[in-house]
Structure 1
Amino acid sequence: MRRFSLSLLAASLALASATAVAADRATAIPAKAVRTAEQLRDTAMHDGTAYAIVQSLTTEVGPRLAGGPNDQRAREWAVAKMKALGFDRVYTEPVSYPLWERRSESGAIVAPFPQKLALTALGYSPGTPMGGLTAEVIAFPTLEALKAARPPDVKGRIVYVGARMTRQKDGHDYAIGSSVRTQGPVIAQDKGAAGFLLRSAGTDPHSRAPHTGVTGFTDPAKAIPAAALAAPDADQLERVLAYGKPVRVKLDLDCGITGQYTGANVIGEITGRTHPQQIVDIGGHLDSWDPGTGAIDDGAGVAIAMAAAKLIHDLPQRPDRTIRVIAFANEEMGLFGGRAYAEKHGADVANHQLGTESDFGAGRIWRMSASVKPQARGAIEQIAKVLAPIGVAYDARVAGGGGSDLSQMHAKGMAALSLTQDGTHYFDWHHTSEDTLDKIDPADLAQNVAVYAAYAYMAAQADGDFGSAPGAFPGDAGE
């Protein structure tokens, strides 16, 4: 009995030692897989599948406000499209969230110089009272200035914040606009404001198409009416304010939360041949804001992921690991699809090999960054070498967050990439009526597919893993 125990102990120690060696072994991508990835890349650069997909989505379904009239149609479309593309398994997973509805909106300066304003209600904004809300405007140049304001100066007024964004290739100025849009209404609410306006979180100074988007309201009983002004209308309001006279604005918003809604993430898989339980995650979000048709945000992302998986599906042999495409529900009003996905699959995060989501339009990918274990950096460099000929540079200094929805799985410990698109003009059209198919260049979209197909295939064929494990990347802010 003692001899058996010692033998068992020795075997356990040997297994633990072997496991430790395997964990420390460098992850690498076999030469054959690299060659196949190069072929996928070159084929994708001339493939029109993604453009056909996003054309289908924006034409046959159109705008896809979460919980809105087209929500169910969009899910049915996604299921049918994945099946038509030949995915091995297509299914849905439920996602629940507050149902916010937009019915009508208008605004105007009523004094001292009466004129209409082009504006749009923001997500989770309540409606105004019957007959509208009219109040004096108090203006702030920045969010910081609003934070510093005395509540007595704000109480009963409509707060306006005029912070401006500028065009940037990586879109980093969106941190300015999005923080004003999400935090500003809540700060104004807490200081006793009657309503809130901001200069749209966008970069086209000439368009009268205002940019909608979500606020940070969490308590509907306390929320105040909130809207975004088109850039020229924000300029006009500022000119009127410069006269030094009291300026009164009327808001008439018919919108608000009307209950709860259950939608779904739509998931399609190309089943792995050797390790089907191990997943390479790619995707985009299926919902969009309602003024446009959701072409760049995020029909393009859904199309890129579907088309990349289709190219891998069409190879003579299935990949070793499963390629999973997720069309996420309701990203726009709080990452609900991403959170639901992480809640359901987070306990199995070690089986999620590597992931990233496309959610920054359809401009060419120019930069790749990664959050992986140190022993997998060589494999990331192999991926980078395959992507370099189509204009993608690897920045080893920057973390990879996985994209908006998959950032939630990254927070659980999933190894992740960031594949940064050229967003120079993305915020010209983002969340507006101008988010339409004509903004997508088919050649740029095909380059995105080439990147996603090559990366996903190489990750699926890697000899070793990229470090996914519960809590594997603590303190990594990612996206």
Structure 2
Amino acid sequence: MKHLYPLTIALLLAAPAAAQHTAPPTPAAVDPRVAALRDAALKDDLAYDIVEGLTTEVGARLAGTDAEARARTWAVAKLTALGFSNVRSEPYRMPVWVRGAEEAEIVAPVPQKLTLTALGNSASTGAGGLTGELVVFSSYVEFANAPSTAVKGKIVYIGNTMQPTQDGSSYGANGTARFTGPALAAQKGAAAIVIRSIGTDAHRLPHTGVTDFPAGVKPIPAAALSTPDATLIERLARRGQPIRLKLLLTPKMIGERESGNVIAEVPGTDPGAGIVLVGGHLDSWDLGTGAIDDASGVAITAAAAKRIMDSGQRPRRTIRVVWFGAEEVGGFGGKAYAQRHGSERHATASESDFGADRVWRFETQLPESAKSVTARLASALAPLGIVHGSGLAGDGTDIEPTVATGVAGIDLNQSGLRYFDTHHTPDDVLERVDPEQLRQNVAAWTTMLAIVANAPEEIGAVPRQ
């Protein structure tokens, strides 16, 4: 899932209004060939086939593990069988964290077992576990303002109440508790930390996710509680009685291992026109089977690219489909891709990493020479119920290092109203994918590729803030 870290949010809020908005495009006629491709894609079955195959034949794909390696082998075979060109795996090495035992219970004032899961990069409590006083903070801000003396040697709890939003903006606002909370707790001398899961559900299924401990900060045990268990702790805290928690977490770092990106292409007729980069991430967390995050994304983009490939007419620009590795644990695949391919000419970059619900909005960040592309996209996407947004495109952990070099961006935004109900939970499974909504995604991406890959305009670099 793409990460809206607090610094990114702050920079967006601080940017001048003119830099955040684009004028509505002038309506443009829709090419009948584009419309035909779009409408045919509404009957697509390939994307669902890819999601079903990846989640059934490989399953969970934690970055840097044997499971992710099996996924790369599966992906190369699948993309080759589909007829893509230049299919290959590009390996790199990365530090690997693996999960261990996960148990917790309230010892006092009322004994109660809890449901939780370790956060990526969490330290271990040791095999004997850890028991200590729980100090409760209702929000990250309240915790951040607390003196170190209030938490030293104790187990910290951070609450938050995340509400569903169509654009997913509540993730950035509430995710700070997970992104930076554990590191701050470690710096303040806490023995461990548990947070209310960063999610919008009320199920007893905790949400995992990576947390970062900066250099020089010793990691501490860090976990996320399911929403009902977090609410129980908050109710107990309001009664004013001391809470003692027993915690057992035994994850570990196992050193450097291999990860990699899987690449496939639809060759274009004009090598000088630039590459149209699309894709999603192949890895997933290990609690579910990664159907929503992000088997759907790799499936949507590959299915759309195949529709262009099978149209009978080669696109002007090469379409490069990348199934990035190790996104969930730090965006290693996106960084490795940019390092290896940064010298190549890219026209645009886009990724699908927000589940499988309907695309409701698109945004662009294109050079002046290609502004008319936005108008054509607006007209062709409108029949799918997709509106043109006023923001600037280029969002996504995997494409971020590439767009940072000045590559133009095009975003197709899916609805986030139910995404964070299952995000990073054991419930991220095939049953959460709606085939009809998946088809609408494929139609949207097919439309975008048909227009952008064949656009006669020059699509050069764009200035970055």
Same fold flag (TM > 0.5): yes
* Structure 1 segments (4+ residues) deviating >4 Å: none
One-letter amino acid of the counterpart of residue 224, structure 1: I
Cα drift, residue 96 of structure 1: 2.1
Decide which of 266, 269, 280 is 1:273's aligned counterpart. 269
Match of residue 362 from structure 1: 356
Cα drift, residue 402 of structure 1: 4.1
**Which has more radius of gyration?**
1
* Contact in 2 for aligned 1:276/1:322 (Cα 8 Å): no
Distance 2:216 2:115 in 1: 25
Decide which of 377, 380, 384 is 1:386's aligned counterpart. 380
Cα drift, residue 219 of structure 1: 4.3
Match of residue 417 from structure 1: 410
What's the CA shift string for 1:50-104, capped at 9, x where partnerless? 0111011111011111122311110001101100110021012123221100022
Decide which of 224, 227, 249 is 1:228's aligned counterpart. 224
Decide which of 38, 42, 66 is 2:39's aligned counterpart. 42
Distance 2:398 2:195 in 1: 26
Match of residue 84 from structure 2: 87
When the two chains are superposed, the root-mean-square deviation of aligned CA atoms in Å is: 1.8
Decide which of 201, 204, 218 is 1:204's aligned counterpart. 201
Decide which of 157, 161, 175 is 1:164's aligned counterpart. 161
What's the CA shift string for 1:306-363, capped at 9, x where partnerless? 1011111111121111111000001001111011111222233xx2111210000000
One-letter amino acid of the counterpart of residue 346, structure 2: H
The 1:413/1:147 distance shift into structure 2, 3 A limit, reads: same
Cα drift, residue 220 of structure 1: 8.3
Distance 2:36 2:50 in 1: 22
Matched, 1:473 2:463: yes
What residue ranges of structure 2 are gaps of 5+ in the alignment?
Answer: 1-25
Decide which of 197, 220, 236 is 1:240's aligned counterpart. 236
Distance 2:368 2:254 in 1: 48
One-letter amino acid of the counterpart of residue 317, structure 1: Q
Cα drift, residue 401 of structure 1: 1.5
Decide which of 50, 53, 73 is 1:53's aligned counterpart. 50
One-letter amino acid of the counterpart of residue 209, structure 1: L
Distance 1:34 1:147 in 2: 54
The 1:413/1:64 distance shift into structure 2, 3 A limit, reads: same
Match of residue 433 from structure 2: 440
One-letter amino acid of the counterpart of residue 361, structure 1: G
Matched, 1:312 2:318: no
Decide which of 343, 347, 354 is 1:353's aligned counterpart. 347
Distance 1:302 1:416 in 2: 18
Distance 1:329 1:187 in 2: 28
Range moving further from structure 2, 275-284 or 174-183: 275-284
Distance 1:373 1:388 in 2: 22
Q: State how many pairs are aligned.
A: 441
Match of residue 120 from structure 2: 123
What's the CA shift string for 1:241-280, capped at 9, x where partnerless? 2221211111101102110112110000011123377211
What's the CA shift string for 1:418-473, capped at 9, x where partnerless? 111011000000000000111111111011111111111211111122332xxx33
Match of residue 24 from structure 1: none
* Contact in 1 for aligned 2:52/2:430 (Cα 8 Å): yes
The 1:161/1:221 distance shift into structure 2, 3 A limit, reads: closer
Give the structure-2-normalised TM-score: 0.92
* Contact in 1 for aligned 2:99/2:252 (Cα 8 Å): yes
Q: How does 1:67-216 map to 2 (within 5 A)?
A: 67-205=64-202, 207-216=203-212
Distance 2:149 2:395 in 1: 43
Cα drift, residue 141 of structure 1: 1.4
Distance 1:358 1:325 in 2: 11
* Contact in 1 for aligned 2:273/2:458 (Cα 8 Å): no
Matched, 1:252 2:241: no
Distance 1:326 1:35 in 2: 29
Decide which of 318, 322, 327 is 1:322's aligned counterpart. 318
Distance 1:363 1:151 in 2: 43
3-state SS of 1:283 partner: strand
What's the CA shift string for 1:195-218, capped at 9, x where partnerless? 01110000002x001000000113
Distance 2:117 2:126 in 1: 17
The 1:130/1:104 distance shift into structure 2, 3 A limit, reads: closer
Distance 1:402 1:144 in 2: 26
Match of residue 462 from structure 1: 455
* Contact in 2 for aligned 1:355/1:402 (Cα 8 Å): no
One-letter amino acid of the counterpart of residue 248, structure 1: R
One-letter amino acid of the counterpart of residue 137, structure 1: L
Decide which of 279, 283, 289 is 1:287's aligned counterpart. 283
* Contact in 1 for aligned 2:273/2:316 (Cα 8 Å): no
Distance 1:219 1:243 in 2: 39
* Contact in 1 for aligned 2:206/2:225 (Cα 8 Å): yes
Distance 1:248 1:269 in 2: 56
Range moving further from structure 2, 207-216 or 275-284: 275-284
One-letter amino acid of the counterpart of residue 413, structure 2: T
Cα drift, residue 115 of structure 1: 1.1
Distance 1:269 1:369 in 2: 24
The 1:276/1:264 distance shift into structure 2, 3 A limit, reads: farther
Decide which of 210, 213, 216 is 1:217's aligned counterpart. 213
